[in-house]
Every structure is written in C-alpha cells, then in structure tokens.
Amino acid sequence: MQQKVLKIHPKDNVLVALTGLKKGDLIVYEGESIILQDDVLAKHKFTLNELNAGDGVYMYGVLVGRVKGTIPAGGCLTTENLKHAAEPYDYHGSDYEWEAPDVSPFSNRTFNGFHRKDGRVGTANYWLFIPTVFCENRNLDVIREALVNELGYGITDKYKRYTRQLVEAVKKGEGVDTINFAPSSDSRQERLFPNVDGIKFLNHEGGCGGTRQDAGILGKLLAAYANHPNVGGITVLSLGCQHLQTSDFLEELKKLDPSFDKPLFIFEQQQSGTEQDLISAAIRQTFSGLIEINKQERKPATLDHLCIGVKCGGSDGFSGISANPAVGYCSDLVAALGGKILLAEFPELCGAEQDLIDRSVDEPTARKFIKLMQAYDSLAHQAGSGFYMNPSPGNIRDGLITDAIKSTGAAKKGGYSPVVDVLDYTEQATKAGLNLVCTPGNDVEATTGKAAAGATLILFTTGLGTPTGNPVCPTIKISTNSALAKRMPDIIDIDTGPIITGEKSILQMGEEILEYCIRAASGEVIPKAVLLNQDDFIPWKRGVSL
C-alpha cells in the first residue's frame, strides 16, 4: 500500500500529502494522531501541531516560511496563511565531511564521446551558427530552412504533410475536423553526415541597441558556445556596424582557448554584397566544414569527463522528494567519479544558502557565493521584486507556496558533495565536483548559462511538464510523478514517480539516471528534447530575472 504522507526531515513541523486527503481524515504518524482540518491535495502540506502568527514552518530541516495567523493542527498550508521566510546566512568556517557513495559499479565504465584537443570530451558533435547581432536572425532563419531538413535534422516535414492534407480538404470543400494527424514513426531522413549530430542556430535579440555591458556579456556567452566541447565547427554572421564586433567575439574566444582550431567561418553582411552572395557563401563554406567535422568519431572516455548541469522547471510539490533527490544522488556519483556537476538558478537557492556555504571547500569560495547571492537579491529588491516572488502560479497550485519551500527542494539536485567552485555567468567550470553557477531561475536563461559554463548534458526535472532544451547540450527530462510521464511521454525521458509509490528508492533511481546519462553521452539514446529540436537559447542581460 502506498504511503499517504511523508515527513522529510526530523526537524520538520509539516507533513507532505503523497495522495489526496480529505477534511476529517485521521492521520497517524509516528504515534501522533492528527485530524485534517481541510482537504489536502497531493503534493501539498499540512501542520503537525497548531501554529500561531509569526511561528516558523520547517521543511527539509530549515525555515521555509512564517505563519500569518493561527493554523490548527492538520491545517493545510496556503499562500493565505503562510509567507516566505528564510534564515540569514554567513560564513562560519566549515569542517564539512562528505561520505562519498559507493561508485564501484561505475568505476571502470566509459562513454563514447568526441575528444577535443583541450582534453574535454563532448557528448555530441554539432555545427553551430552564431549571429553577433539580432539583425542577422532572418538570414539564419533562411539558412536553417535551407539546410536542416535537407540534411536530415528537421522534424517539420510531418507537420508540412499534415498542413498539405488540410489545404487539399479546403480546396475540395470538405471539413477539416476529420483530418487526423498521423505522424510517421521516424520523420528524419538518412543523414548525409552521420558523425554530425545536428546543425544549431543561436538566434537572439542582442548585440546592439542595449548597453555596451550587455554586448560584452553576449560576446563572452557566444564565445563559450563556440568553444563548447559539443561543438565541432562554427559559422558566424555579422552585420558589421553593431556594438558586438566580430573582433570582440574573437578576442573572447582567444581568452578561452588561445590555440582554438575548430573550423570557423565569419561573414560580414555589409562587406558581402547581396544577401544572395552572403547566404550562398555561408552555406557553401559550412558544407566544407561539415565534411571536415564528419571525420571525427566517438571514442571511449572515462566518466570523469562528464560535465552535467542539473535544472528543475515546472516544479511541483514532489520535485524535492522524488526527481531532485534522485538527480542529487546521481550528482554525488558523478562527483565521486571525478566529473563535474553544475547547480545554478540562484533565486532558487534561497533558504539553502547556509547549507551550501557550510559545504564550501574554503572561505573564498563561500564568500564569492555570498557576494553573488546578495548582489542578485538586492538588484531584485531595487526593482520592487525579490527572490520571494519566484514561485509561479503553477508552482503554487502544486504545493510550492513559498520560495524557500521551492528552493530547498530545488537544491537537492546538487546532492551532498562539497562545493568546489562558484562561477559567475559565462565563467567556465574547471574543477571536478559540485560547481555553483550564477544564473536566473528562468528555465531557458538557466540552461543557456549552464551550457556556457561547459555542461555537456543537462538533467532537467519537472513536475508539470516543460518543453524546453538547449541547442548544444542534450537535455534529459525527468518527471517527478508518473501521471506526468504518462500524460506527456513525448517530452519525458525518465520517470521518478516510483519513488513516491515506494516501488523504488532514491538511490536506485539515481543509479538509473546515471546509466541513462552514459547512454545519452554515447549517442546510444537520444533525449526527447533533442528529438523535438527544443533548441531554446536566451542570453541573460544581468537584469532582474527570477
């Protein structure tokens, strides 16, 4: 029989409903009897004892809110009776000791990746188109239309066929309601370049018209993508007169790798003559580059070459007790094997700060985290907002009613290994272990920043369903509950719902997630986000984004 409620930490004074509960139900937990005062939906929380105005609510062993008025024992927590609260944090020194998990089942394992000259190993081999300014987005769209489907990387043919069916029905005077969509089992053509996993395009809205600082950050971001281990070659389109000059981009690229030698083609539209001349030349030279990087082949690499970003989006009340802890155990396995883990979304670490500070390997690491967190939160407050406003309506409906509840559950993705480094936006991960990366909580801005830091896979947990990915970093979707996995099978790769039902443990699911990562890194399985071409890319302008 499935357990009905869960107490996450001994210090907690609330229980999580694992299934829907009714007002008047008698809940017996650890010898205590509680009569529910409200209906409690699955994923929501209710109090173990009466709480009065100002009393603290604790989950995951930390303060996650303060009560606005009296809540009786068995009362459901809502935005009406609870407000966000979190303990202050600072560096107090640390004697943190981590007991690494048993990695013997993985100690001699390898994945088949693309070895780069700088020693990093890619999990894919992409050709990347980069515009230095938004003025070139249209030209990128034209090139995308010309190349992607013809070379076997598109997914739009099935929708074009369906549209043609609808057009024919209208021409014949027939209704369209009876024309059902019938996708083929595999809409991709046989690829001309089998060792090239895709052609990707970084359309964006920057490069000119904003501040020079925005253009400078964009240059660092684009250079990080060009230098990414999953990228084999690059075509750059520039207008010529924009803030982000091609020379600025090349300078940032040189800083990252002075011996950069990937195929790189640059086209300045204001120097190229007609649009036809520009686009045809870009396509022709890209073909020569594709021929070159197609010669690269996957070869075995040890698991310490994995660099995995961990992310949650469309979170629900089960995120912090199923998918996120399972990803966290996978993170600990990777850290123990000498790989890199990237935990970002600083607005969603609110309430978990002290734990991360205490786990920092030294004071400079902890101080950098504190400085970035405080500066970010201060900027949000100056704009009339704050981290406390992070939860979305969907989060709240599914039980995440304060930012601290959401954040302390979100932080579980990083596991329990020491924090070895803290990276500002666009800084590169170089140290094995858990790295904190400063990004917004916004799904696409966060995944964009993780890939820039060097993530070669992203583990993305979701309780509500989030159709997003990244152009150069395969994104693996992990559902917190089985209902979502059944409802949206086209976007979910792994279901951690069995943790909720008691069929599997967090450790078992964490090992299964790592097994999937090894297969995905080897190209043996293609994550759904990649199959759907969910190539989302949004640069962060360092403004207020939660």
Residues 22-81 pLDDT 10s: 999 999 988 889 999 999 999 999 999 999 999 999 999 999 999 999 999 999 999 999
Q: Can you give the pLDDT at residue 187? A: 45
pLDDT in tens, 131-149: 999 999 999 999 999 999 8
Q: Can you give the pLDDT at residue 377? A: 87
State the average pLDDT for the chain. Answer: 93
- Give the mean pLDDT of 504-527: 98
pLDDT in tens, 296-325: 999 999 999 999 999 999 999 999 999 999
Give burial (CB, 10 Å; 0-12/13-18/19+) of 39: middle
Under the banding of pLDDT at 50, 70 and 90, the label for residue 546 is low
Whether 6 shows a pLDDT value over 60: the answer reads yes
pLDDT in tens, 177-202: 888 877 654 445 578 999 999 999 99
If one counts every other C-beta atom within 10 angstroms of the C-beta of residue 449, the result is 30
- Give the mean pLDDT of 172-177: 82
Dig out the tokens for 155 from the structure.
């997914």
DSSP secondary structure string for all residues of 142-184: HHHHHHTTTTT----HHHHHHHHHHHHHHHTT--STT------
Whether 513 shows a pLDDT value over 50: the answer reads yes
277 Cβ contact list (under 8 Å, min separation 6): none
b/e map of 519-546 (b: 16 or more CB within 10 Å)?
ebbbbebebbbbbeebbbbbbbbbebbb
d(CA 414, CA 361): 15
CATH class name, domain 5-84? mainly beta
**HSE-up of 175 (CA within 13 Å, CB side)?**
2
Whether 484 shows a pLDDT value over 50: the answer reads yes
Dig out the tokens for 192 from the structure.
């001309």
Whether 266 shows a pLDDT value over 50: the answer reads yes
25 Cβ contact list (under 8 Å, min separation 6): 35, 36
Q: Where are any strands of DSSP class E within 269-395?
A: 299-302, 307-312, 340-343
The domain segmentation of the chain, as residue ranges, is 5-84, 126-153+188-295, 307-531
Q: Can you give the pLDDT at residue 545? A: 65
Counting other chains too, the contacts that 420-424 makes at CB distance below 8 Å and 24 or more residues apart are 420/361, 420/365, 421/365, 422/360, 422/365, 422/368, 422/369, 422/372, 423/342, 423/453, 424/372
Q: Sheet with 110-115: list strands edge to edge.
A: 121-122, 110-115, 299-302
**Domain 126-153+188-295 coded CATH 3.40.50:** yes
457 Cβ contact list (under 8 Å, min separation 6): 123, 306, 307, 308, 309, 473, 474, 475, 476, 517, 520, 521
Dig out the tokens for 499 from the structure.
């943790």
> Under a CB-based contact definition with an 8 Å cutoff, are residues 49 and 13 in contact?
yes
Q: Does the CA dihedral 452-458-463-466 come out positive or negative?
A: positive
355 Cβ contact list (under 8 Å, min separation 6): 62, 411
Helix ranges restricted to H, 179-263: 212-226, 246-256
Q: For the chain, how long is the longest CA-to-CA vector?
A: 81
Under the banding of pLDDT at 50, 70 and 90, the label for residue 380 is confident
pLDDT in tens, 335-358: 999 999 999 999 989 889 999 999
Under the banding of pLDDT at 50, 70 and 90, the label for residue 160 is confident
Whether 374 shows a pLDDT value over 80: the answer reads yes
Mean pLDDT lowest among 162-171, 370-379, 410-419: 162-171
